[in-house]
Amino acid sequence: MRALQMVRYKSDPELVDVAQPEPGPGQVVIKVGGAGACHSDIHILYETAGEGDTPWRLPFTLGHEAAGWVHAVGSGVRGLEVGRAVAVHGAWGCGACSRCRAGVENYCEHPVPQGGLGIDGGMAEYLLVPEARHLVPLPDGLDPAAAAPLTDAGLTPYHAIRRSWPKLGPTATAVVVGVGGLGHMAVQILKATTAARVVAVDTKEEARDLARSLGADHVVAPGETAAKEIRGITDGRGADAVFDFVGSDATLQLGVATSRPLGDLTIVGIAGGSYPLGFFSVPYEVSIQSVYWGSRSELVELLDLAARGLVRPEVTIFPLEKAPEAYRALHDGTLSGRAVVVP
C-alpha cells in the first residue's frame, strides 16, 4: 500500500510502498478515511535535530490524526464489527499506569510511541491500531474525513478549553491567539460550550475573517496596540482565559499583557517561546499551563458536538498522492483550516 513517510531528518516526507498491516491479538486495522496534517509534523520533519534527539526509529508513516472504518480485527477484539466508522484517539499510553487507568492516556507515565509520532500513523491506506481501546465509534452524521481533524486539531483545544470552563461564565472573555488548524476549532468550541465573549487574534486577515465567520465576537490583529485593544473590549479587566495556539515570545507576552487576575493562560502552540515568570511579571493568580492533546472521554464529547453540527472543522482535502503538497502548504502558511489527506 502507499504511505507518506518520514524517511530522514530535516527533509521532505516521501510517498513509498509498504506492506499492508495485519492485526495481532487485541489489535485493529482500519481503512483510513482521512488523516490530518498537523503543524507538529512540520516540527518533527524539519526542526528535530536528528538521531538521539528523539526515541524514534525512521522511517515511519506520518499522521497522528486519523479516522476510518474497521477493516480487520485481531483475536480477542469484541464490539468492533468490520465496516464500522471509527475515530482514532491518538494519545496512545501504556494502558497500565495510574494516569492511563484514570483515562488520562495523554499524560501516560510510561510513554510509548504513538501512531505518526515514531511509529506508523494514518497517512496511508491502512493503519494498525495497537489496542482496540484507542478507537471511538463515530456517531451518526460524521464521516471519517470530517472526523479526522477532530482527533487532534479539535481534541487539543477542547481539552484546553474544558479545563477553563469554570472561569468562562457569561461575563467572561476568552482570547484565542492564532486561528489556524487548532485555533479555528477553539473559536467554535468556546461558542458551543461556554457563554464567554470570544476574541480571536491572528496576523492574517483571512484568518481573522474565518474567526469572525465561526462566531468570534471580536477579532484583533497582533501588534503594539493589540493588548490595549483587548483590554478595551473587556472594560479594562483583561481576559479570563487566553489560549495561545502559537506559543512564541510575542504571543506569550500578549497573553500575559491581556490576562485578568485569577485568569488562565494556556500554551498550546509549540513555537517554543518563553516569558520570565516571577512575582512581578504576571497578574495575581493567573494560572499558566501547557497542555498536550486530550483524553478519550473528551474525544467522545467532542464527536457528539460535531455530530450535532455545533463544531465543524474547515478542511482542505488532498489525495494521498498529493500529501507532500499539503505539508508544503502547511509549512508556507497558505492553508485555510486543516489539510486532510484522503487515501
> Which residues, numbered 166-195, are part of the site for Zn ion (CB under 5 A)?
none
* Choice from 1, 15, 42, 97 touching Zn ion (CB under 5 A): 97
* Choice from 63, 93, 116, 178 touching Zn ion (CB under 5 A): 93
Number of residues that bind Zn ion (CB under 5 A): 8
Q: Measured from the CB atom, is 40 or 287 closer to Zn ion? A: 40
Q: Measured from the CB atom, is 100 or 282 closer to Zn ion? A: 100
Q: Taking contact as CB under 5 A, which single stretch among the options 150-158, 161-169, 258-266, 269-277 is the one that binds Zn ion?
A: 150-158
As a residue count, the chain comes to 343
Bridge partners of 61?
Answer: 5
242, 175 in Cβ contact below 8 A?
yes
| Distance in Å, CB of 148 to Zn ion, minimum | 11
Residue 271 binds to Zn ion (criterion: CB under 5 A): no
| Distance in Å, CB of 102 to Zn ion, minimum | 10
How many Cβ atoms are within 10 Å of 125's Cβ, its own excluded? 17
CB-based contacts of 336, cutoff 8 Å, min separation 6: 206, 207, 210, 314, 316
Residue 152 binds to Zn ion (criterion: CB under 5 A): yes
| Distance in Å, CB of 101 to Zn ion, minimum | 8
Q: Taking contact as CB under 5 A, which single stretch among the options 40-48, 54-62, 119-127, 272-280 is the one that binds Zn ion?
A: 40-48
CA distance 240 to 259: 6
Give the DSSP H or E segment for 60: strand 60-61
Residues 340/37/338/200 CA torsion (nearest 10 deg)? 170
Residue 108 binds to Zn ion (criterion: CB under 5 A): yes
E-assigned strands of 101-253? 114-115, 118-119, 126-129, 135-137, 173-177, 197-201, 218-220, 239-244
Residue 257 binds to Zn ion (criterion: CB under 5 A): no
Q: Taking contact as CB under 5 A, which single stretch among the options 14-22, 36-44, 255-263, 319-327 is the one that binds Zn ion?
A: 36-44
Residue 288's identity, in one-letter code, is I
Question: Residue 333 is placed in which grid cell?
Answer: 502558511
* Choice from 100, 129, 239, 305 touching Zn ion (CB under 5 A): 100
Residue 182's identity, in one-letter code, is L
> Which residues, numbered 311-340, are part of the site for Zn ion (CB under 5 A)?
none
**Residues at the site binding Zn ion, with contacts judged by CB under 5 A:** 38, 40, 93-94, 97, 100, 108, 152
